[in-house]
Structure 1
């Protein structure tokens, strides 16, 4: 990799006094991998020629078969775990003798132990924490250099959700000179912001590990959204040997472009060190200029505009890619959620990839950045067996690490992420049992003090129990800047507001408007309530109680209305915005992913998605469901449902009006008509002030005639959606045909269809359509040439698309 830039090296034993280039670059390609315990793999001369060559990010579990024998259980998506090793051969012979070299990991799951040239560098237990080691003194300038990583995720069940396994985020090599700006040292805030001007406060450090004083010029520049330098300031500094220089500088920008969820303008702050007019180090931080306020009466206020938080909780996996997400995955996810009207994401319940936060910065998505799912008490999450009985199985996740590692993990988490303008709030925990008793007081205070030491934004802690009988322990809650409420009700918020009128409140988690149901699964010939509920044919009382307590739409709709009409509640985060791997409740085998989201695992919206679009967006929209293909039920009564943000909605069956209804957007009931099924078409029309403003039509469809391919996202990797069509180009919402792929100039990264009970592998040259759809995820082999995928199924011509 070092061939990408030139470094002049002194090949003599004297100290190298020349000025060399400092640089950081990814070392993601050419890693050797094996899924077994190989204790001597850390030795320099170990033969890894038979190991598999992989490219990072790499999640080795996601391509494996699902099995009931895997100890990860349903919580871990029935996928294998265990011990694995990675080795990377590095050519760093050209590094200057006076330079320092660091290896930086964005995340590796988990219990990462690292060796360089057989020298043990350390261990990082958390699989979600970023970490780095200096390797300078172990570099061999005459021979090969070997970086070895051991990961151990063998203690299972080890998580309440699918964690992934492997070096699933980027790894960087950093080459510095003997005087440099350390990782995460630069911190930029916006203490004063208006439309007329803004003050940027820039803090950073310069470290001199040399044994003599160095005289330097430190240039600080501000580049606007077009990359044009608009401000430059210089500091002439002298840094003594073995000492640090602390920068604290205010810069004023006239008529700044403010960062907002609708206009996420970004500036770049560039720091560069010069010695004798030659650049010896640089650092760059992207920032958004914005003013954030947190009030009791108006909630969250961004740039003087109150904004109701319309949020979703997300887990970190990227569906068929597992934990090895790419930036394109994040871009697609945020795009689809913003089209729903969401303006915020909660990173449940661990640090996400830096590239996810970069994407939120760029696309204008607010972030509640969460650190922990456990403190000192082990969680025992509910899991359902095949007969429908509920059991609680403890997970070996983080509680055993908390006392030793929580302070460092939280500090590093804040330092890494604090320059992201999208972060509007931190979270120090989710559903922490110790928030119910006295032990939570000291822990909450300690964690809050760490947050406040390194950043000025408030923190929350998502706590359940409000209204459940045993309320959280108030002295513990009082330590939190903005208490978080999980699964509370409107009357609980009112009680809190009466008891604590100066308390700021946010709903950190609540039921979504389509919980535990898959996309396109319908039961329209039952009663209204039953037609909207999951039809899980298990009679066990545990399963039936779970289903009864979680009405598929109504509970989530009420949760939003409870927040919408209470200005003292900042907003809510629904569970979840997107289906995720693991936590299959109330399903058991063969389910291997959740169904809590309003978007399925493949990225296709479910009907509940459109409820939030009707509440969270202003552009006229209307959505009718279920489909109109019920052969064998002709003449039977069924129910049709509508989500819309228009004032009135009229339904037509085969061109005959079934009546016009007023659409109450504060109701917890959807618009529903009882009709008689006859093949043909159904149409809904939305009206504002008596004028037709939007409409949707569903047709009874014929047999499959063609496949439609569409490239929806195409940056670092490519997403291609596949849909089944009849001869009139109508989408077929019941198609389940097996489709096959042939690929040219591309690597198949994953396939999916959104069915949480499918045991087809995620990496394969085939997939069944699920209710008419599937997704293919590819990466070009040669980026300078087009890629191509050819898709076929029995009985119709194959189709292809280039990308």
Structure 2
């Protein structure tokens, strides 16, 4: 985050101590912490009090306090605090006085404490009350506390605001980029003033390529926008996987003296969505290979160090993913910085509910909203505009952002329109994934025309949100994730949008493109199945998809089964960031480099059976064209009963694959013949080694599974040998059980205990399984698929050593070590 780091030396108290906001209240018994901080992730999972919707972790009321001295440089200046995210209902006090109330848990807020500070040299108390007693107020895990960073900004009376500079690409013409920008100037000095504004642009080598000067006269209490234009020859374009950026800097001078210097990053890139030809980035037709992501990261909860996101994004990038949808709220500034650097396209979403609430316990079955499930809706009318526009102002310079989404599956909450679609029958099946709209456009239009408009109407609210967005930025399209597009085209909702996102409605692409051809469409929430991507390849007017989801997240646990299921199990990566079977399917679809991965499952547990001719076929009720969210159960091992019939599934983009068992060929299969993109063999189990060789031209790619023996060793590996003491630096320690041949044992599990010596903090532990409800902040865990993950953070300079021990097996792991260095500022 930009600004002065304000995250150290905080104190925290879980509860409601008397006078917590007052200067003279003692806090010696409060806990010392460093932000970001999520207190809920430190709780034990609670089956009785917790709720499946938020992952069985509860909330509560907490207080944060920070003491700081009014320094000389703060005198006669504006002192602003930037809170990037607090969950939620935050009251911010300075020296005992309430400064502001900020209810939304995901939007940034600037807090001006200038008029509340004590004189220079005196101590101040900043106190923040977080009320997350309504701990099931969302449909997914939220976290609790000041879970994102805080920065301090000291601004002169005449200044550029914290979010007061922007630059964007107006057009690309040959080897030249034509740019536009804007700087906001504010005069809070009380008298008119003349000043000099210097604008400069530098590239990533600090070479100055643009210099401009503007003489500006500001009246008393005036705020003025200063537009400017510039050109860049042979620009280094921001692109997918190419995080090229430039630096825009501004210098304010009064009477020859510099009063403020400010800089922002931006990227040079052009985006365009065509109703007929899809998405274009820098003039090149580009498929959006996207995933939806929630803001938690498993065992670290919602307070996510940048290194944790970096590892996860790298894993997604390696399978060909190039886009992220922030489901269903703004992400942190740190996350967007990473997406800029790594070249991810981003759809930033603002809200999951508008005027009317969603039932957090039962998605799209709006029945009850009680105290603990009361969410943002009660604040929406008063705060939606500022929350939305603050987010846009903060994020406008991020080249990664290509769309603003004003809402997610909002239609459920305006139920008067539902039956006009024809989807809502007596069987209660609201989704009806495999049917186009039962009612034709004319029927829906007639039914909608007879429904009286109300004060809180989906079309009216959408129009307000879209306009508030466009008041801030017109360079990106406004979109929404529509679960009922057939009626949303007719009730004014889609009229407010620049393009339309379809939520699980791929079977309606053709129908809606024909009936409403003027607006671009794409999948914005799609099942992680081959048929969803095939629809994109078959229809050039579809820009791409956002799969549900890229990574498993906590909460929404009722999607599949109750306790102990703590999270959604529908991602390409699990809660610990380990790849799952669909990850390899989409790597074979989204990347060009040869890829091959093999899984197995007993025939009777599989999707398949033998037909009358003895060939493998899908069981009745199963078909690849209608596979829904959950991936079929398959195993990453070769270990069954002798002669047991076993299905071998192989996901590969190789043109042909040959399977061998103990050196004997079981035949060759060709990708052109594999309609469902899954190579399959039925193999009687035999102890030994299963090898698959994929061939494309002369290039051969190989993978294997070998029958494993008992656990004989524990392998520890770390992704970092050097970390700093900073809050964003962590080492990921992975543990894998091994047999005597050095093969990974995936079918056996055991409890392991970690020891950490040196200045290391065990930040979180997890095995990735959605049913694991052991404490995240622990040193002990039972493995899943023979593996687990430990995340370690450094507290002070020195050597950190980590080892694991399985007491029941009497086996210790190797020791991994890393050097923790002093934090660099």
Cα deviation 1:102-148 (Å, max 9, x = unaligned): 12211110000010001110101101111122111221125320001
**Structure 1 position 291, deviation (Å):** 0.9
Write out aligned runs for 1:652-667 (5 A): 652-664=660-672, 667=675
The 3-state SS of whatever aligns with 2:181 is strand
Partner of 1:448: 466
Aligned twin of 1:700: 707
More divergent stretch after superposition (564-573 vs 691-700): 691-700
CA contact (8 A) 1:382 1:392 kept: no
Match of 1:402 in 2: 380
Q: 1:654 to 1:474 in 2, by over 3 A?
A: farther
TM-score (norm 2): 0.85
**Residues 1:425 and 1:44: Cα distance change in structure 2 (over 3 Å):** same
- 8 Å CA contact 1:220–1:269 kept in 2: the answer is yes
Q: How is 1:360-371 mapped onto 2 (pairs within 5 angstroms)?
A: 360-371=339-350
Q: Aligned-pair distance for 1:578?
A: 0.3
SS in 1 for 2:299: helix
Provide the residue aligned with 1:459 in structure 2: 478
- Whether 1:279 and 2:261 are equivalent positions in the alignment is no
CA distance change for structure 1 residues 628 and 128 in 2, over 3 Å: closer, same or farther? Answer: closer
Q: Is the CA contact 1:611–1:643 (under 8 Å) kept in the aligned structure 2?
A: yes
Show the 5 A alignment for 1:550-565.
556-565=529-538
Structure 1 pair 652–30 and aligned structure 2 pair: CA distance change class (3 A): same
Q: Who is 1:789 aligned against?
A: 802
Tell me, in whole angstroms, the C-alpha distance in 2 between the residues paired with 1:671 and 1:466: 36
Check if 1:507 corresponds to 2:507. Answer: no
CA distance in 1, matches of 2:379, 2:74: 39
Contact kept in structure 1, 2:504 and 2:525, CA below 8 Å: yes
Q: CA deviation at 1:651?
A: 1.1
Q: What aligned pairs does 1:349-428 form with structure 2 within 5 A after superposition?
A: 349-381=328-360, 383=362, 394=369, 395-428=373-406
8 Å CA contact 2:185–2:224 kept in 1: the answer is yes
Aligned match of 1:745: 759
Change (3 A) 1:665 1:418: farther
- 1:86 match: 64
Shift in alpha-carbon separation, 1:431–1:654, aligned structure 2, 3 A: same
Shift of 1:39: 4.6
Q: Which moved further from structure 2: 30-39 or 628-637?
A: 628-637
Match of 2:744 among 731, 734, 749: 731
Counterpart contact for 2:506–2:523, Cα < 8 Å: no
2:648 paired with 1:672: no
**C-alpha spacing 1:99/1:466, structure 2 compared with 1 (3 Å):** closer
Deviates more, 1:584-593 or 1:633-642: 584-593
Q: 2:546 maps to what in 1?
A: 573
Q: 1:767 aligns with which of 774, 781, 801?
A: 781
The answer on 1:641 being equivalent to 2:616 is no
Q: Which residue of 2 aligns with 1:67?
A: 46
Deviation at 1:709, TM superposition (A): 2.4
Task: Rate the CA distance shift 1:612–1:628 in 2: closer, same or farther, 3 A.
Answer: closer
SS at match of 2:3: strand
- Find the counterpart in structure 2 of residue 479 from structure 1: 496
Partner of 1:48: 27
- Three-state SS of the structure 2 residue aligned to 1:41 is coil
Check if 1:257 corresponds to 2:271.
no
Separation of aligned partners in 1, 2:494 and 2:366? 30
Indicate conservation of the 8 Å contact 2:241/2:322, yes or no. no
Structure 1 segment 264-343 matched on structure 2, within 5 A: 264-343=243-322
Is the CA contact (8 Å cut-off) linking 2:716 and 2:803 kept in structure 1? no
Q: How far does residue 348 in structure 1 lie from its aligned partner after superposition?
A: 0.3
Counterpart residue number, 2:202: 223
Aligned twin of 2:792: 778
Could you tell me how far 1:631 is from its partner in structure 2?
5.0
| Contact 1:788–1:802 (CA under 8 A) maintained in structure 2 | yes
Contact 1:628 1:699 in 2 (8 A): no
Change (3 A) 1:629 1:454: closer
Segments of structure 2 that go 5 or more residues without pairing to the other structure are 418-452, 601-634, 819-825
Measured against aligned partners, the alpha-carbon deviations of 1:221-257 in whole angstroms (never above 9, x if no partner) come to 1121223322222223333332234211111111110
Verify the 8 A CA contact 1:383 1:586 in the aligned structure 2.
Answer: no
- Root-mean-square deviation over aligned CA pairs: 2.0
Matched, 1:802 2:817: yes
Give the Cα–Cα distance (whole angstroms) in 2 for the partners of residues 425 and 596 of structure 1.
24
Q: Aligned equivalents of 1:658 and 1:472: distance in 2?
A: 53
Aligned 8 A contact 1:93 1:140 in 2 = no
Alpha-carbon deviations, 1:276-312, whole Å to 9, x = none?
4443212211111001111122211001110111110
Change (3 A) 1:628 1:262: closer
Pair 1:481–1:562, CA change in 2 (3 A): same
> Could you tell me whether the CA contact under 8 Å between 2:761 and 2:794 is conserved in 1?
yes
Q: Are the counterparts in 2 of residues 792 and 799 from structure 1 also a CA contact under 8 Å? A: no
Higher mean C-alpha deviation, range 321-330 or range 359-368: 321-330
Structure 1 unmatched runs, 5+: 1-22, 385-389, 513-555
* Partner-residue secondary structure (3-state), 1:778: strand
Match in the other structure for 1:711: 718
Q: Is contact 1:435-1:476 (8 Å) kept? A: no
Deviations 1:368-400 (A, max 9, x none): 00001001121125559xxxxx99654422222
Contact 1:291 1:304 survives alignment (8 Å): yes
Q: Secondary structure at the match of 1:163?
A: coil
Query: In terms of mean alpha carbon deviation, does 240-249 or 693-702 score higher?
Result: 240-249
Are the aligned partners of 1:411 and 1:451 in contact in 2 as well (CA < 8 Å)?
Answer: yes
Cα deviation, 1:165-198, whole Å, max 9, x if unaligned, reads 0000011121111111112111111102245111
